[in-house]
Amino acid sequence: MSGEAGKRQFWKRNVSKVPGSIQHVYGAQHPPFDPLLHANLFKANTKTLSTAVKTKKVTTFQEFESITSDAWDAGDDDDDDLLAMAAENLNTDVVMETANKVIQNHSKLQEQKQQDEQVEATPEQLHSPDPAECSIIDKIVKSNSEAQLDTSTGSDGFEKTPLQKQQSLPSRPTIPLVARITDQNISDAPLMTEREMSRLEKFRYLLAEPNTDLEDLRKCSWSGIPKPVRPITWKLLSGYLPANVERRLCTLQRKREEYFAFIEQYYDSRNDEHHQDTYRQIAIDIPRMTPESLILQPKVREIHIDIPRTNPLIPLFQQASVQEIFERILFIWAIRHPASGYVQGINDLVTPFFVVFIFEYIEGEVEHFDVSSLPEEVLRNIEADSFWCMSKLLDGIQDNYTFAQPGIQRKVKALQELVSRIDVQVHKHLHQYEVEYLQFAFRWMNNLLMRELPLRCTIRLWDTYQSEPEGFSHFHLYVCAAFLVQWRKEILEEKDFQGLMILLQNLPTMHWGNEEISVLLAEAYRLKYAFADAPNHYKR
């Protein structure tokens, strides 16, 4: 994407609407770029505005909603036309000023950290090479010059070394940190420590017992599950597999056959007229995976619309074979649960299971992995296991997706009451600027914070959710409360409705890893310990 096109895309997603300008989009999953890499995107425009453009201050959600729109409601095929129209009507000065403000407000900590790490070496730090080192270097250079490493030559007639050949190969596109799955923290994960090895052995011991003690397994899993044993542990904790070792293999075989019997029986019916709306919506949601408009009722649109939305920054989910798997999983679940059917947001819940179960068969990074290289039987196993584990999860929170979504409304109300007790200053600040909890926390409950956190963090979070009693339905409330209070400093700095909405729907978590999730979970557990057994404590 060219520089100008990139700016227009950023403005389209992040800048508030002004008269004669484009519309702000609320509900973005993450900033569309890494602020560390693009903090100076608009630095070139340093000209001072001669005349300040005054816009009407937005004071209520109704006014804010009336001048905003969902990025995908405008029409999937009209993106280029919208960008062209925006470019013609764009008030450049106002957009520049507003974009700079957004970047400054939400990238302060990241920019400061980058500046701290960029320490230039002083002349005193340099030293003259040791004679012995020079001798070794000379030998290496001489050896390389005499060795016939490669017979290929460049355009200048000189031979290319293997390093030069490797550098000349096209490189894979870099995946933004927010979309990386295997990086658990900012820096590369070190080799397993002695403590981590000890924990892994403890898991293997529990899993190898004739009847796995699920209570002990939950206790071990609360603080995170080692990657090598995460697939089997998730299947046990979700209730998909039995604790008895001898029954696991036959259970897997039976459930996998049952799932593909559903496919054979029902999947062709997606072309029937009464299934078209559901099927087309899922198919559109999966590839794009961008936040939906704020809604209070299930909006059955088209499966085909939702599939392209799933983690668009990760190449894994843009593969045709992966999207076909997601289509089948979501369609079969929808027709087997007519009380709710398919609702936007359910497509998010497949991805953690799918990624974890792929790691059962591969090593290394998964973001660029070509799933077509796996045997067909392996792909079938991953698909069936993902379906059943997702179904087990949804069984506990299905009232989130039935008519009027009463489960979400109750949880948002409980979140409001809880925050009013644990941090009255934040609660009053949101109330002062007329920010309703439903306006930002609806998505937190509907998607289990998956739109707010990188996928690697969601996987670690679900380790704990599956080890907690009613983790997805009950403990999640305390995680959301701890997550909101985590940003109290940034929240209190915002002094208007619009700034608060932009912050709460674009929280800067792209650099989060295991450490940040562990702190969040610890605070959530403290809140649960204080309030769960005494719910009247957070009621006025």
User: Whole-angstrom Cα distance, residue 16 to residue 328?
Assistant: 38
Q: How confident is the model at residue 505 (pLDDT cuts 50, 70, 90)?
A: very high
User: Whole-angstrom Cα distance, residue 442 to residue 341?
Assistant: 19
Q: Given 337, 370, 396, which residue is the final one in a domain?
A: 396
Pick the most confident of 117-121, 267-271, 448-452: 448-452
Q: Domain check: are 494 and 414 in the same one?
A: yes
State the angle between helix axes of 476-486 and 406-422 in degrees (0 to 180), rounded to the nearest 10: 50
How much of the chain exceeds pLDDT 70, in percent? 57
**Number of neighbouring beta carbons within 10 Å of residue 199:** 18
Q: Domain check: are 224 and 314 in the same one?
A: yes
Could you read off the pLDDT of 68-87 as tens digits, one per residue? 544 344 344 444 444 444 44
Q: What integer pLDDT is reported at residue 93 of this predicted model? A: 61
238 has a pLDDT exceeding 80 = yes
End-to-end Cα separation, the chain, in angstroms: 53
Q: Calculate the dihedral angle through the C-alpha atoms of 239, 245, 250, 251, rounding to the nearest 10 degrees.
A: 0
Q: Domain check: are 439 and 381 in the same one?
A: no
**Number of neighbouring beta carbons within 10 Å of residue 319:** 14
User: Whole-angstrom Cα distance, residue 469 to residue 237?
Assistant: 10
180 has a pLDDT exceeding 70 = yes
* All residues at 6 or more sequence positions from 256 whose CB lies less than 8 Å from its CB, including other chains: 380, 381, 384, 385
478 has a pLDDT exceeding 80 = yes
Q: Domain check: are 209 and 236 in the same one?
A: yes
- Residue 273 has which token pair? 């007229």
Q: For residue 280, what are the β-bridge partners?
A: 303, 304
Q: What integer pLDDT is reported at residue 280 of this predicted model? A: 54
Q: Look at residue 363 and tell me if it is in a domain.
A: yes
Query: Where residue 458 sits, what CATH number does that domain have?
Result: 1.10.472.80
Q: Domain check: are 444 and 488 in the same one?
A: yes
Q: What average pLDDT does this structure show over 393-419?
A: 93
- Residue 16 has which token pair? 């508030």
Q: Given 342, 363, 396, which residue is the final one in a domain?
A: 396
Higher pLDDT: 400 or 280? It is 400
How much of the chain exceeds pLDDT 90, in percent? 45
Q: How confident is the model at residue 202 (pLDDT cuts 50, 70, 90)?
A: very high
Q: What average pLDDT does this structure show over 383-409?
A: 93
Contact 176, 34 (CB under 8 A): yes
| Host domain of residue 383 | 194-396
Identify the CA nearest to 28 among candidates 299, 293, 406. Answer: 293
Q: What integer pLDDT is reported at residue 367 of this predicted model? A: 86
Place of tokens 């997706």: 401
Q: What integer pLDDT is reported at residue 49 of this predicted model? A: 37
User: Whole-angstrom Cα distance, residue 383 to residue 354?
Assistant: 7
- The number of distinct structural domains making up the chain is 2
149 has a pLDDT exceeding 60 = no
Distances (CA, A) of 487 to 376, 398, 507, 522, 534: 45, 29, 8, 16, 26
Contact 298, 160 (CB under 8 A): no
Number of H helices and E strands in the chain, helices first, is 23, 0
Q: Domain check: are 439 and 508 in the same one?
A: yes
255 has a pLDDT exceeding 90 = yes
Q: Domain check: are 360 and 254 in the same one?
A: yes
User: Whole-angstrom Cα distance, residue 428 to residue 500?
Assistant: 13
Q: Look at residue 323 and tell me if it is in a domain.
A: yes
3-class secondary structure, 68: strand
Q: Look at residue 341 and tell me if it is in a domain.
A: yes
Higher pLDDT: 125 or 179? It is 179
**Number of neighbouring beta carbons within 10 Å of residue 409:** 16
Place of tokens 């198919």: 283
Q: What average pLDDT does this structure show over 296-321?
A: 66
Q: What integer pLDDT is reported at residue 182 of this predicted model? A: 72
Identify the CA nearest to 489 among candidates 108, 3, 197, 20. Answer: 108
- Residue 91 has which token pair? 């008030």
Question: Rounded to 5 degrees, what are φ and ψ at 259?
Answer: -65, -45
Q: Look at residue 521 and tell me if it is in a domain.
A: yes
Query: Cα Rg for the chain, rounded, in angstroms?
Result: 26
- Residue 366 has which token pair? 């998964």
Higher pLDDT: 318 or 413? It is 413
Place of tokens 């379906």: 387
Amino acid found at 394: L
Q: Domain check: are 377 and 516 in the same one?
A: no
Burial 68-95 (b: 16+ CB within 10 A, else e): bbbbbeeeeeeeeebbeebeeebbebbb
Q: Look at residue 101 and tell me if it is in a domain.
A: no
Average pLDDT, the chain: 74
Q: How confident is the model at residue 118 (pLDDT cuts 50, 70, 90)?
A: low
CA 19 to centroid of chain Cα atoms: 33
Distances (CA, A) of 133 to 123, 129, 136, 140, 144: 20, 6, 5, 11, 17
Q: Given 365, 396, 427, which residue is the final one in a domain?
A: 396
Q: What average pLDDT does this structure show over 154-166?
A: 46
Q: Domain check: are 259 and 302 in the same one?
A: yes
3-class secondary structure, 58: coil
Say if residue 478 is exposed, middle or buried (CB neighbours under 10 Å; 0-12, 13-18, 19+). Answer: buried
What is the DSSP code string of 419-488? HHHH-HHHHHHHHHTT--HHHHHHHHHHTTTTTTS-HHHHHHHHHHHHHSTTIIIIIHHHHHHHHHHHTH
Place of tokens 């990238």: 107
Q: Domain check: are 309 and 237 in the same one?
A: yes
Q: Domain check: are 329 and 365 in the same one?
A: yes
Higher pLDDT: 388 or 294? It is 388
- Residue 358 has which token pair? 């792929």
Contact 189, 374 (CB under 8 A): no
pTM beyond 0.75: the answer is no
Give the CA angle between residues 439, 289, 280 to the nearest 5°: 105
Q: Domain check: are 360 and 420 in the same one?
A: no
Place of tokens 């816009």: 55
Q: What average pLDDT does this structure show over 107-116?
A: 60
Pick the most confident of 69-83, 156-170, 298-312, 525-539: 525-539
Q: Look at residue 158 and tell me if it is in a domain.
A: no
417 has a pLDDT exceeding 70 = yes
Q: Look at residue 242 and tell me if it is in a domain.
A: yes
Q: Look at residue 518 and tell me if it is in a domain.
A: yes
- Provide the sign of the torsion angle of the four alpha carbons 523, 447, 69, 23, taken in this order: positive
Residue spans of alpha helices (H) in 192-244: 194-208, 214-221, 230-237
